[in-house]
Chain A
């Protein structure tokens, strides 16, 4: 039996990796993947806590997070395609038309 704390620490580490990747990576798709990683870290936390409290509501939450993440991915990838059409690049450093 693996203690709950292990799952929570793993989830926290995954979440932090997601944040770090979001801030460091320069490719839009990779940045988007790091957000998905953060969401999955949250899902893991929910499942672990649901097990700890013996409540299914935490697990139900996870289903909704997955559904919403899928909807978000659909819109997000469409936006990325629109960006690529106008700019021919996926590097966020070159997405800087608007500055003071």
Chain B
């Protein structure tokens, strides 16, 4: 198999499946269930996971390889993120198979858009050329803009979609301006060539400005404060399974780009960007946790919680190179497992109409849906960071990495914030197991049984969270293995070879 084909095999599989879903959608008679299309999408995602495993096998035998004129690089780092994103998409698809059981005419679009979005996210994580990163970012963003407004009849859905679209495009403009300034400072848009170009740049100030712009652009995408304003509204208005997907997978992809860009592309400017990252981390943790304290709506609460978690993840960036990357990777995996799990359980509890919204509505859910309530409780404990959950080790590695590099104050600030966060998670947890007040909440719950695919999905997310908390070593070994591979990008790829079309003279 040619290197080019092998490098993009997971993305190619996802794209073909997505196109197939769209082509087959009109074939199914209107009014009939779109579930077969969902199964096709699940099959495609599973095939893409298999392709990623094959990439890992090739990686182990013949080492890191690049494709398409060194614009795509397959290393342990990209394989890690491919697996993470594909697994998140897989559990989301499994859990949302029955979500669209009610007569919805355009359910096929949901499956196709999820697949296209996943393609874009995977693209972002394996590209080492900022042009490709930009295209991947846009593929994933445009898909999620549409997904956010999927219940098109509802006023809140179109509002959520509009806010996501406007602020997302605004962020993209900043990201692009950052790339343009980077190109101006170094003469290249390839991450490897940027690193070597920075050594000889005549305009270091421009490069610092470029890094700041890229940080603003990606800060919007990972919803780090002060670029978080869209998050609560969008999460509240979007369908729950879409929130489960877009609060984890695109964020993981954006963090992957940020790690590659900061640690591989601009290591010389570390002193400058670490300050910016620190400010973002402090603001995100504070605003996220204080904002969550005031929320009554469960999805808004989780939105603020995701802002806070972006802050904890940014703390990991302050570590020494290898610690920082492995800490951030571990946190991304733990956060993805527990957050996707929590939101998928909420999907199962509140259903398509989402009658259950506020924390009061969730009072006494444990009486009617004991298994789901127990899982949600477990995910909430993991989000707090209780030992024996993935959240604990995620925070542990992030903060210990920061402490090892001398950022003790930042780590203590993060720990204090986790203490504050206990309050709102425990408030929801307590509500789940309280006696329902009158006939309000638990009475509205439909007497649905949990479907098998959904049960498999939420159980898998819970097992992953548990595994990360009980046996973190297996994953830690994987992420530590991925960390150093990201380093030599600017050593391995010679600057001259990265931009083959670059040497034309001006008229």
Q: By the criterion CB–CB under 8 Å, are B502 and A57 in contact?
A: yes
A32 partner residues in chain B, CB cutoff 8 A: 166, 169
Q: Roughly how many angstroms separate A57 CA and B186 CA in the complex, as a whole number?
A: 13
Asked if A17 is an interface residue, CB under 8 A from chain B, the answer is: no
A71 partner residues in chain B, CB cutoff 8 A: 138, 142
Q: Say how far A43's CB is from chain B's closest CB, in angstroms.
A: 8
From A28, A42, A50, A82, give the contact of B176 (CB < 8 A): A42
CB contact under 8 A between A68 and B138, given known A35-B173, A98-B237? yes
Q: Roughly how many angstroms separate A38 CA and B502 CA in the complex, as a whole number?
A: 26
CB contact under 8 A between A79 and B501, given known A35-B173, A64-B131, A87-B155? no
Q: By the criterion CB–CB under 8 Å, are B300 and A41 in contact?
A: no
Asked if B62 is an interface residue, CB under 8 A from chain A, the answer is: no
Q: By the criterion CB–CB under 8 Å, are A95 and B183 in contact?
A: no
A100 partner residues in chain B, CB cutoff 8 A: 294-297, 300
Q: By the criterion CB–CB under 8 Å, are B173 and A79 in contact?
A: no
B499 partner residues in chain A, CB cutoff 8 A: 55, 57
Q: By the criterion CB–CB under 8 Å, are B169 and A49 in contact?
A: no
Tally of contact residues, B, Cβ under 8 A: 51
Q: By the criterion CB–CB under 8 Å, are A54 and B176 in contact?
A: no
Asked if A52 is an interface residue, CB under 8 A from chain B, the answer is: yes
Asked if B73 is an interface residue, CB under 8 A from chain A, the answer is: no
Count class of interface residues, chain A:
35 or more
A28 partner residues in chain B, CB cutoff 8 A: 162, 166
Chain A, 23-53, CB within 8 A of any chain B CB: 28, 31-32, 35, 38-39, 41-42, 45-46, 48-53
Q: Say how far B360's CB is from chain A's closest CB, in angstroms.
A: 15
Asked if A10 is an interface residue, CB under 8 A from chain B, the answer is: no
Q: Is the interface of B mostly helix, strand, loop or mixed?
A: helix
Q: Is the interface of A mostly helix, strand, loop or mixed?
A: helix
Most chain A beta-carbon neighbours within 10 Å: one of B163, B173, B236? B173
From A39, A45, A61, give the contact of B131 (CB < 8 A): A61
Q: Roughly how many angstroms separate A71 CA and B504 CA in the complex, as a whole number?
A: 30
From A51, A64, A79, A82, give the contact of B135 (CB < 8 A): A64
Task: Kindly report which residue of chain B lies nearest to residue A51, judged by CB atoms.
Answer: B506
Q: Say how far A94's CB is from chain B's closest CB, in angstroms.
A: 10
Q: How would residues 168 to 208 of chain B score, 1 for a CB under 8 Å from any chain A CB and 0 otherwise?
A: 01101100110111011001110000000000000000000
Q: Say how far A9's CB is from chain B's closest CB, in angstroms.
A: 13
Asked if B134 is an interface residue, CB under 8 A from chain A, the answer is: yes
Q: Say how far B218's CB is from chain A's closest CB, in angstroms.
A: 16
Asked if A13 is an interface residue, CB under 8 A from chain B, the answer is: no
Asked if B154 is an interface residue, CB under 8 A from chain A, the answer is: yes
Q: Say how far A22's CB is from chain B's closest CB, in angstroms.
A: 6
A8 partner residues in chain B, CB cutoff 8 A: 184
CB contact under 8 A between A49 and B502, given known A22-B170, A28-B162, A71-B142? no
A83 partner residues in chain B, CB cutoff 8 A: 158-159, 161-162
From B162, B184, B294, B503, give the contact of A95 (CB < 8 A): B162
Q: By the criterion CB–CB under 8 Å, are A61 and B183 in contact?
A: yes
Q: How would residues 124 to 168 of chain B score, 1 for a CB under 8 Å from any chain A CB and 0 otherwise?
A: 000000010011001000100110010011111011111101100
Q: Roughly how many angstroms separate A56 CA and B500 CA in the complex, as a whole number?
A: 10
Q: By the criterion CB–CB under 8 Å, are A56 and B169 in contact?
A: no
Q: Say how far A49's CB is from chain B's closest CB, in angstroms.
A: 4
The 9 closest A-B pairs by CB, nearest first: A38-B173, A49-B184, A45-B180, A83-B158, A82-B158, A86-B155, A53-B187, A42-B176, A54-B506
Q: Besides A22-B170, A51-B506, 19 other CB < 8 A contacts?
A: A22-B166, A31-B166, A32-B169, A45-B184, A48-B184, A53-B187, A54-B505, A55-B499, A57-B189, A61-B131, A61-B179, A61-B180, A65-B176, A68-B135, A83-B159, A86-B153, A86-B154, A97-B155, A100-B300
Give 8 A-B contacts (CB < 8 Å), ordered by A residue: A38-B177, A55-B503, A57-B189, A57-B499, A58-B189, A72-B172, A76-B145, A95-B159
